[in-house]
Every structure is written in structure tokens, then in C-alpha cells.
Chain A
Amino acid sequence: MQPFNLEVCKGEIVGLAGLLGSGRTETAQLIFGITQCEQGHLRIKGRQVNLTSPRQAIRAGFALCPEDRKIEGIIGDLSVRENIILALQAKMGWFRYLSGRQQEDLAQEMIRALRIATPDSQKAVKELSGGNQQKVILARWLVSNPEFLILDEPTRGIDVGAHAEIINIIKRLCREGMAMLVISSELAEVVDYSDRIMVLRDRRMIAELEGDQISENAIMQAIAE
């Protein structure tokens, strides 16, 4: 990755646009502590932090819905409920175990709020549809109460209905004051919900669009330049 500056504020959605392989996922992984940068720093609310693992990023209030749902997202063999509480439980540690009652309450709350289509919370997550799996991963992060949410291709490989629902969820979370960084290949979608858009090409940040500048054409132009 080439050096870049990126700032995300509370209640703001920043879109990351660019072609496949332009460095969008790498940017997300860098921020979430999965890979480390050679130089540069990260400030949260003005305080400099050094994140070297997802664990630390999560403790700092970050969350990442990864691009590859099956490999990096869901734990297919575990139930919907277990998948939903997983990040929160990992954050709480080994010995402060959420009781069955608390787990069920959290799961039911999320199944309702995100309209996850599942007969019950005990179903193995691998048996759900792609859109519902994506919602389960979103739910996993929402119960862990993050301040900054990174979504990497949140609507890839999802049916139309779930697609619209996920976009609604993104907008609602933004209204509730969450800071968000959303990576998507669907320009219409990014243009729709982003307050600002960063355009990447060849692992370089080449443009930043804001306000009225945001349009599909402007992004295409920036990429093609």
C-alpha cells in the first residue's frame, strides 16, 4: 500500500471505491490490525494507538465484517446464537461466560432487529442463506457495541431483498452515530449512503469526493484517469 490519509468521524459513512485489487481490502485489514503497516499511525479520538491484532482493534471499539464470509466470517458449525455472541464473549474473556438466558436474549433481539430468517437460534449458521449469514456477522459485531464499523463488501452474493435490508441497516446505524467505513464494488450503492468517498487505484488513494462531488461518474472518472 502507498501512504494515505483517512479520517472517519462519528455518524459518518466513508465509502472506499476502486477496482478489484486496488487495495481496498488491504486498507481494511491494516486498520483492523490483521496486517501491520511499515510506518504511519492511527489515532482514535486524538489518542495514538498501535493495533497489532484484531483482538486489540476490537478492544479499541473497532469491528470488521470481512469480505470472504465463509472463510473469515461465519463459524459454520456453530449455531446462530453462538455466532452472534462470539465476538462479545471473546472480548469478555474465558471466565465471564454469558448465561444461556443472556445469550438467547441477545440472539433473539438481533434476529428481530435485523430480521434474520432462521427457525430458531440453535440452527447451524452454515444452513442459512448468504444474506442471513451476512446479517449474523453484522449481529455479532452489533452486540459487541463497536464505535467504528468496517464493512468489506457487505452486499456481495446476497439476494435482492436482503441487499436492500442491509443497506437500510447501514443507514440506520449511521443515524445512530456509528462511524463506518464501507467497501463496495457497487458504485450506485456507495454513492447512495456515503458522506465521503475515497477512491483507490493500484494501492494508492487517488481521489476524495465529498458532498455534491459524489456521483457514479465522478468515481469512474477518478478510476479511469
Chain B
Amino acid sequence: MSEKIVKPVQEKKVTFNVWAWFAANKRALWTLAALILILLVNRLISPTFFTVRYQDGRLLGSIIEILNRGAAVMLLTTGMTLVIATKGIDLSVGAVIAICGAVSATLIADQPPAVAILFGLGAALLCGVWNGVLVAVFNIQPIVATLILMVVGRGIAQMITNGQIAIFNDPTLSFIGAGVVFGLPFPIFLSIGVLIVVWLFVRRTAVGLLIESVGANDRASFYAGINATMIKLMVYTISGLCAGIAGLILTGYIKGADANNAGLWTELDAILAVVIGGTSLNGGRFNLGLSMIGALIIQSLYTGILISGLPVEFNLVVKAIVILFILLLQSDSFRQIVLQPFRRKTA
């Protein structure tokens, strides 16, 4: 062992093998292909789908609308990706949207907008910390721990708004949901900005690696000296905050906080987006970029169904079928079974 093996440093040949790259990123490419396919189908349904017009100082078009209306789901997906990577799940984000919206919309009546927004976000942060404490400190299973807030959250939001839809008329708060910057809706900037900040936080520091480690094997991570409690507390807090920002967008967009319906079922969209993006519910490896493609797939579907003019009751069925199809496309075993009869026998 002690003898040194002197080896000339071999210069690795840097040849870019396209097929090898394709094989290594198969899952990513299938996901991207699914998004493009859905967009193309949307184009078949509506010939003006890819058209972007400039009118009254803002860009208009279906693509812009997908990004705009998808901003909330993208925000939720950002936080949800981190939570799922630690082998957790956050069912409460829809309820947190309602709480944050209710707090801001109620406070805006007699407080400056900054205070209303900060308290709304503070409430969302608190919700995230609450989930984090239940999961990380008291070791309650994530699905149960966050179910508590999912159930009770809308009740809390209703108590804050006194059971009414809290309507307001404040330009700052409605700007967050409906403002226009450089011709583009403000929520687009907000969701992409948060995505970049979170990405820098996890990928430019050790946090991302530690999240993946805790998610892949929390016992071994504990033995290796990783503070899994802090990591879990942090991801639920980030998820709460992301839901809070999404809550501000949805509240600003309709200029009111609807405790019953704001962000209803969006937690499921976010979870689906993460799964489509290839992060396993068993925790471990995660990819924020692919999660975003997942979120865009869901939103494109939604928009596609709307512009196709199908009856409303078809919406969920079509959505379910398409998502099933995408998940089957990504599944290695499914592709093997389907392609088996067509494969040439190799001796």
C-alpha cells in the first residue's frame, strides 16, 4: 500500500459523444419531448397558439399566459422539489396560499402594503416552520404532519377573513398578481427569480448535496454527521415561503382572498410536477430545472384544455390521461415491455 504508483497523468480525450449524452439524459429528454408534444397539440387546436402580440405596452399570447398562470405552480414546485428530495411531502401548500392571501388581504384594509405583504409572508413562513418542526423534530410522517395544516389551514384562513371573500383595492398588492414589467406579467419574474435564488442556495452551497443525502439514506447521513433535523426544517420552511409568494400572486390577481378556493388542489399539481420532473417520492436526487418543465407541462395542459373548448367536466379526465401517458413514457420498464416485440434478437 505504501509504494507509490507513478502513473503518467493521462489527458482525457474530450470528445462529445451525442449518443452517450442522449443515453445519460434519457429521462430529461423524454420529459422535454412531452412538453413540446403538448405545445404542438395545443398549436393544432388553436392556430394562434404560438402567436405573441404586443398591445397596450404588454405582450399577449397563449405562451405568455402559460408562464403567467403557471407562476404559482412553479413556485410551489420549487419548494416541493426540495421537500420531496428529503423523502418528505408537503400537502399543506394550498392551505398556506389561502392563509397568506387572507392575512395580506385583511391587513391591506388599514395597513401600508409593505406591512400586509410582510405579515402574509411571515404567516406562510410560520406555517412552513410548523410543518418542519412536526416532521424534523417530532418525527411525524410528512404526509400526516402536513395533512394537519392542509385540513386546518383553510379554516384558519376563513377565520381571518370572517368567512367572507376579502376584497381590496390596493395597487401594490394587485401588482404582484397582475402587474406588467418590460411588457411581461410580473408573476413570471417573481417565479423565475425565486427559482434562481433557491437554485443558487442549494447548488452553489453544500445544501443540495446534503438534501440528497438525507433523502437517499437518512440513517447513514446521521452517521456521517449531517444535521438532518436542520435540513428538513429548512426545506419545509422554504416550501412554506414559496407557497406564501404564490398566495400573494393569486390574491393580487383576483384582488381578493378566497379562503375556500384560493390554491385549491394546487399541492397535487406541484407534487405531480415534481414527479414528472423525475424526482422520486423515495427521496434523493432532485433536479429543479426538470421540475419546472413538469410544472409547465401541467400548465400547458390546463391552458390547452381551456382553449380547446371541451366541456369543463372533461378537464380532469384529459389531464389524468395525459399525465399517465407521460409517466408511462418515462418508465423504463414500460418502454421495455412495449418495445419488446419490435426489438431485434441479439444473440
Between-chain CB contacts (< 8 Å), 13 pairs: A55-B225, A72-B220, A75-B220, A76-B216, A76-B217, A77-B217, A82-B212, A89-B210, A90-B221, A90-B224, A94-B205, A95-B205, A97-B204
A55 CA to B221 CA, complexed, in Å:
10
Compute how far the CA of A54 lies from the CA of B217 in the bound complex, rounded to whole angstroms.
Answer: 15
Q: Which residues of B are found within 8 Å of A113, using beta-carbon distances?
A: 1
Q: Name, among B204, B210, B221, B225, the residue most crowded by chain A CB atoms within 10 Å (CB to CB).
A: B225
Taken residue by residue from 95 to 109, chain A's Cβ proximity to chain B (1 for < 8 Å, 0 otherwise) reads as 111100000000000
Select from chain A the residue with minimum beta-carbon distance to B203: A97
Q: Which residues of B contact A87 (CB under 8 A)?
A: 224-225
Chain B nearest CB from A193 CB (Å) reads 14
B223 within 8 A of A: yes
List chain A residues, Cβ under 8 A from B205.
94-95, 97
Complexed CA–CA distance, A93 and B285 (Å): 20
The A-contacting residues of B in range 243-279, CB under 8 angstroms, are: none
- Would A169 and B1 count as touching, CB distance under 8 A? yes
| A78, A94, A168: most-surrounded residue (chain B CB, <10 A) | A94
B7: nearest residue on chain A (CB-CB)?
A112
- Summarize A's interface: helix, strand, loop or mixed: helix
Verify A94–B1 contact, CB threshold 8 A. Answer: no
Q: Are B219 and A94 in contact (CB under 8 A)?
A: no
CB distance from A187 to the nearest CB of B (A): 24
B223 CB to nearest chain A CB (Å): 5
- Chain B residues near A154 (CB, 8 Å)? none
In the complex, what's the smallest C-beta–C-beta distance from A1 to chain B, in angstroms? 19
Residues in A lying within 8 Å of B, measured CB to CB: 32, 34, 54-55, 57-59, 64, 66, 71-78, 82, 86-87, 89-98, 112-113, 140, 165, 168-169, 172
What secondary structure prevails in chain B residues at the interface with A? Answer: loop
> How far in angstroms is the closest Cβ of chain B from A52?
13
**Most chain B beta carbons < 10 A, residue from A59, A75, A92:** A75
* Per-residue A-contact encoding for B202-218, CB less than 8 Å = 1, 0 else: 00111101101100110
Query: Does B227 lie at the interface of the complex (its beta carbon under 8 Å from any beta carbon of A)?
Result: yes
Residues of B within 8 A of A72 (CB): 219-220, 223
A77 lies within 8 A of B285 (CB): yes
A34–B213 Cα distance when bound, in Å, is 18
Residue numbers in A under 8 Å from B212 (CB-CB)? 75, 77-78, 82
Asked if B15 is an interface residue, CB under 8 A from chain A, the answer is: no
Give B266 Cβ to nearest chain A Cβ, in Å.
29
